[in-house]
Structure 1
Amino acid sequence: MNYQDFRIIVDRNNNIRASSEQGEVSSELRWEQNQINLTLQLIESGQTNHELFKALGSQLYQALFPDKINARFQATIAAAQANQESVRLRLIFESPELASLPWEFIYEEDTNIFLANNTETVLSRYIDVPLQQRDIKAVDLPLKVLLVISTPTDLATLDVVEEEKLIREALGKHIEAGEIELDVLQEATRQKIQQKLREKLYHIFHFIGHGVFDNNQGYIVLVDNAGKAKYMDDENFANFFLGNKNLGLVILNSCQGAVVASNQAMRGTAPNLVRRGIPAVVAMQYSIFDNTAKLFADEFYRTLALGYPVDAAIQTTRNAISMEVGLDKRDFATPVLYMRAKDGIILDIKKKFEEPIDEPVINHNLIESLEYPDGSVPLDSPFYLERDGIESVCYQTLKKPASLIRVKAPKLMGKTSLLRRIISEGIKENYQGVYLDFGSVNKEVITNLDKFLRWLCSKVALELELDNQVEIAWNPACLGSNDNCTAYFKKYILRPINSPLILVLDEVDRLFPYSEVLEDFFGMLRSWHEKGKTEEIWKQLRLVLAHSTEVYIPLDYHQSPFNAGLPVELKEFNQQQIEDLANKHGIDSQDCMLSELRKMVGGHPYLLRLGMYDVAVGKTNFQDLLQTATTEAGIYRNHLSYLLDILRAAPELVQALQQVVNSTAGVELDSVEMYKLHSLGLVVREKNHVTPRCQLYRDYFRRIS
Structure 2
Amino acid sequence: MLNFDITIRGSAAPYSVTASYRQRTAEGAFALDLTQEAWQEQCRRLGQVDEAPGTAFIRHVGSQIFQDLFRDQVRDLWIRARSDLETGQAEGVRLRLALYPPAVAALPWESLYDPDRNMAFGASGRTPLVRVENLFQHVGPSREIQASLPLHLLLAAPEDPTGLMAAQAEIQLVRQMAERLGPAQMQVTTLEGRFGILELHQALQTHRPDILYVASHGEPDGILLWQQDVPHLATSESLRVTLERATSVKLVFLNACLAGQGSAQARFTSVGSQLLQAGVPAVIAMQYPIPDEVAVDFARHLFDELLNGPCPGAIDMAVAGARSTLYMLAPHTFSYGTPILWLNAEDGRILRLPRGSVGSASTARPSMARPHPAPVHLDLSQEEAWLAELVAGLDLTRLPGQLRFIARSWEESVEECRSLLYQLRHLEQQGDEPRYAAKVSQYRAHQQRMERLRSSLEDAIRGHGG
Q: State if a TM-score over 0.5 links the two structures.
A: yes
**Does 2:122 correspond to 1:116?**
yes
Which residue of 127, 134, 141 corresponds with 2:133? Answer: 127
Question: In the TM superposition, what is the alpha-carbon distance from 1:352 to its structure 2 partner?
Answer: 5.5
Backbone CA RMSD of aligned residues:
2.0
Which residue of 63, 71, 75 corresponds with 1:70? Answer: 75
**Does 2:348 correspond to 1:340?**
no
Which residue of 205, 214, 224 corresponds with 1:221? Answer: 224
Aligned residue number for residue 267 of structure 2:
265
Map Cα deviations across residues 474-505 of structure 1 (whole Å, 9 max, x no partner). xxxxxxxxxxxxxxxxxxxxxxxxxxxxxxxx
**Does 2:347 correspond to 1:349?**
no
Aligned residue number for residue 328 of structure 1:
332
Aligned residue number for residue 423 of structure 1:
none
**Does 2:46 correspond to 1:40?**
no
Map Cα deviations across residues 240-282 of structure 1 (whole Å, 9 max, x no partner). 1223332111111001110111111232110011012111100
Aligned residue number for residue 6 of structure 1:
4
Give distance in 1, aligned partners of 2:286 and 2:133.
17
SS of structure 2 residue aligned to 1:274: helix
Which consecutive residues of structure 2, in runs of 5 or more, have no partner in the other structure?
A: 360-466
Map Cα deviations across residues 311-342 of structure 1 (whole Å, 9 max, x no partner). 11111111111112x11111111110011212
**Does 2:18 correspond to 1:17?**
yes
Of structures 1 and 2, the larger Rg is shown by 1
CA contact (8 A) 1:258 1:284 kept: yes
* Mapping for residues 192-207 of structure 1, pairs under 5 Å: 192-207=199-214
Over 3 Å counting, the alpha-carbon distance change for 1:6 and 1:167 in structure 2 is: same
CA contact (8 A) 2:52 2:333 kept: no
CA contact (8 A) 1:171 1:297 kept: no
Over 3 Å counting, the alpha-carbon distance change for 1:43 and 1:254 in structure 2 is: same
Give distance in 2, aligned partners of 1:42 and 1:149.
29
Q: Percent identity?
A: 23
CA contact (8 A) 1:99 1:266 kept: no
Over 3 Å counting, the alpha-carbon distance change for 1:136 and 1:83 in structure 2 is: farther
SS of structure 2 residue aligned to 1:121: coil
**Does 2:308 correspond to 1:295?**
no
Give distance in 2, aligned partners of 1:103 and 1:323.
19
Residue identity opposite 1:104 in structure 2: E
Give distance in 2, aligned partners of 1:135 and 1:232.
24
**Does 2:92 correspond to 1:90?**
no
Aligned residue number for residue 146 of structure 2:
138
Map Cα deviations across residues 13-67 of structure 1 (whole Å, 9 max, x no partner). 5100000105001011133845433423443454611111111111111122122
Residue identity opposite 2:82 in structure 1: I
Over 3 Å counting, the alpha-carbon distance change for 1:175 and 1:134 in structure 2 is: same
* Mapping for residues 405-554 of structure 1, pairs under 5 Å: none
Give distance in 2, aligned partners of 1:5 and 1:261.
27
Aligned residue number for residue 241 of structure 1:
243
CA contact (8 A) 2:121 2:129 kept: yes
Which consecutive residues of structure 1, in runs of 5 or more, have no partner in the other structure?
A: 356-705
CA contact (8 A) 1:133 1:279 kept: no
Aligned residue number for residue 212 of structure 1:
219
Question: How many residues of Structure 1 are paired with residues of Structure 2 in the alignment?
Answer: 345
Give distance in 1, aligned partners of 2:74 and 2:291.
36
Residue identity opposite 2:252 in structure 1: V
Which of 195-204 and 246-255 deviates more? Answer: 195-204
Residue identity opposite 1:70 in structure 2: R
CA contact (8 A) 2:263 2:269 kept: yes
**Does 2:38 correspond to 1:31?**
no
Over 3 Å counting, the alpha-carbon distance change for 1:235 and 1:21 in structure 2 is: same
TM-score (norm 2): 0.70
SS of structure 2 residue aligned to 1:322: helix
Residue identity opposite 2:295 in structure 1: A
Over 3 Å counting, the alpha-carbon distance change for 1:291 and 1:280 in structure 2 is: same
Give distance in 1, aligned partners of 2:286 and 2:250.
18
CA contact (8 A) 1:16 1:28 kept: yes
Give distance in 2, aligned partners of 1:212 and 1:290.
16
Question: In the TM superposition, what is the alpha-carbon distance from 1:140 to its structure 2 partner?
Answer: 0.9
Give distance in 2, aligned partners of 1:333 and 1:47.
13
Give distance in 2, aligned partners of 1:119 and 1:59.
22
SS of structure 1 residue aligned to 2:284: strand
Which residue of 167, 170, 173 corresponds with 1:163? Answer: 170
Residue identity opposite 1:224 in structure 2: Q
Structure 1's consecutive aligned runs of 4 or more residues displaced over 6 angstroms after TM superposition are none
Residue identity opposite 2:147 in structure 1: V
Map Cα deviations across residues 600-625 of structure 1 (whole Å, 9 max, x no partner). xxxxxxxxxxxxxxxxxxxxxxxxxx
Which residue of 255, 260, 264 corresponds with 2:257? Answer: 255
SS of structure 1 residue aligned to 2:142: coil
